[in-house]
Amino acid sequence: MNFNITALVPELFFLCMVLALMVQSLGSREWKPPVERWLPFGACAAFFVTITGFHLHGTMFWDVYKVDLMSQFFKIVITFGFYVVVLNASRQPTLEEGKRADYYMLLGFSTLGLMLLASSVELITIYLALELASYSMYAVIPLRAKDKGAAEAGIKYIMFGAVATALALYGLSYIMATQHTTYIAELMNKSWSFADQPMAVVGLSLFLGGMFFKLALFPFHFWCPDVYQGASNETAAFVATMPKMGAIVVLCRLAVLLKPGLEITTILAVLGALSMTFGNLSALAQTDIKRLLGFSSVAHAGYIMVGLVSGTPEGIGAAAFYGMAYLVMNLLVFWVVSRVASDGRNLKLTDLNGLYKKAPALAFSLAAGAFALVGLPPTMGFMGKFFLITSAWDHGYNWLVITLVLNSAIAIYYYLSLFRHAFTEEKTPTEVAPPDNGWFASAGAGMLAAAVLVIGMIPAPLFNFAINAGKTLYGITVTFSGGGH
Binding residues vs other proteins (CB under 8 A): 314, 367, 371, 376-378, 382-383, 386-387, 389-390, 393-394, 401-402, 405-406, 408-409, 412-413, 416, 420, 423-424, 459-460, 463-464, 467, 485
Residue 372's contacts (CB-CB under 8 Å, 6 or more residues apart) are 325, 328, 329, 332, 379, 380, 381, 382, 452, 456
- Is residue 347 helix, strand or coil? coil
CB 69, min distance to other proteins, A: 14
Q: Identify which of residues 211 and 380 has a Cβ nearer to other proteins in the complex.
A: 380
CB 157, min distance to other proteins, A: 34
CB 375, min distance to other proteins, A: 9
Q: Long-range CB contacts (< 8 A, 24+ apart) of 281-285?
A: 281/410, 282/225, 283/411, 283/414, 284/410, 284/413, 284/414
Q: Identify which of residues 229 and 379 has a Cβ nearer to other proteins in the complex.
A: 379
Q: Identify which of residues 409 and 443 has a Cβ nearer to other proteins in the complex.
A: 409
Q: Identify which of residues 203 and 354 has a Cβ nearer to other proteins in the complex.
A: 354
The vertex-149 CA angle with 25 and 155, nearest 5°, equals 65
CB 454, min distance to other proteins, A: 14
Q: Tally Cβ neighbours within 10 Å of residue 170.
A: 15
Q: Identify which of residues 209 and 381 has a Cβ nearer to other proteins in the complex.
A: 381
Q: Identify which of residues 80 and 382 has a Cβ nearer to other proteins in the complex.
A: 382
Q: Identify which of residues 266 and 390 has a Cβ nearer to other proteins in the complex.
A: 390
Q: Are 151 and 111 in contact (CB under 8 A)?
A: no
CB 402, min distance to other proteins, A: 6
Q: Is the peptide bond before 10 cis (omega within 30 degrees of 0)?
A: no
DSSP 54: T
CB 361, min distance to other proteins, A: 11
CB 459, min distance to other proteins, A: 6
Q: Identify which of residues 121 and 374 has a Cβ nearer to other proteins in the complex.
A: 374
CA distances to 187, 188, 317 from 257, in Å: 7, 5, 15
Q: Are 253 and 337 in contact (CB under 8 A)?
A: no
CB 127, min distance to other proteins, A: 33
CB 445, min distance to other proteins, A: 16
Q: Are 307 and 203 in contact (CB under 8 A)?
A: no
Residue 377's contacts (CB-CB under 8 Å, 6 or more residues apart) are 383, 456
CA 442/CA 294 separation, integer angstroms: 24
- Is residue 402 helix, strand or coil? helix
Q: Tally Cβ neighbours within 10 Å of residue 87.
A: 21
Nearest C-alpha neighbor of 425 from the set 349, 332, 339, 337: 349
Q: Identify which of residues 226 and 314 has a Cβ nearer to other proteins in the complex.
A: 314
